[in-house]
Amino acid sequence: MRLYGDVPYDYFRTAGDLIFSAGACPLDESGSVVAPGDFEKQAMRVVENLTVMLATAGADLDALLKTTVYVASSNRTDLVRVWQTVAPLLGRAPSTLLGVTVLGYPGQLVEIEALVRVEV
């Protein structure tokens, strides 16, 4: 899998042994949002994209220090569904789960940003 390369920002920035990620989005290689209307499938794609981004930066999900999970819904049931999908993959790093009004791409329901420590 390759991340969509035509975004107007960097996927991550490093500072010493820290990696600050942009929000990983449920985009496919062509820049389209996957699985419109499906919280769980979008959540899985977000974690896949986050994993690819971290590998590019020399890290993996085991190096997560903190995540923020954004869900475009005011329904707590949707937030719980997303959390139950991503939590087993993200591990025990501290995380904030937020319901928001809208995310950046049309049809986007889930986004995850991360702070990661990479071994140097």
Domain enclosing residue 39, as ranges? 12-117
Q: What is the pTM of this model?
A: 0.93
**Total structural domains within the chain:** 1
- How do the pLDDT tens digits run along the chain, 120 residues long? 557 667 777 788 999 999 999 999 999 989 999 999 999 999 999 999 999 999 999 999 999 999 999 999 999 999 999 999 999 999 999 999 999 999 999 999 999 999 999 886
| Rounded Cα–Cα distance for residues 70 and 56 (Å) | 23
Check residue 7 and give its pLDDT: 72
Check residue 1 and give its pLDDT: 54
Contact 59, 99 (CB under 8 A): no
Residue where the block lists tokens 């500072």:
15
Residue 6, domain member (yes or no):
no
Check residue 11 and give its pLDDT: 84
Contact 67, 61 (CB under 8 A): no
Distances, alpha carbon 119 to alpha carbons 28, 35, 58, 62, 79, in Å: 29, 35, 8, 11, 32
Residue 57, domain member (yes or no):
yes
Check residue 6 and give its pLDDT: 74
Check residue 64 and give its pLDDT: 97
| Rounded Cα–Cα distance for residues 86 and 47 (Å) | 7
| Rounded Cα–Cα distance for residues 28 and 35 (Å) | 10
Contact 3, 50 (CB under 8 A): no
Residue 53, domain member (yes or no):
yes
Check residue 120 and give its pLDDT: 67
Residue 2, domain member (yes or no):
no
Token pair listed for 54: 């971290």
> Measured in Å, how far apart are the chain's first and last C-alpha atoms?
25
Residue 7, domain member (yes or no):
no
Q: What is the CATH number of the domain that holds 92?
A: 3.30.1330.40
What are the start-end ranges of the E strands in the chain?
Answer: 12-15, 18-21, 64-71, 95-99, 110-117
Residue 16, domain member (yes or no):
yes
Check residue 2 and give its pLDDT: 59
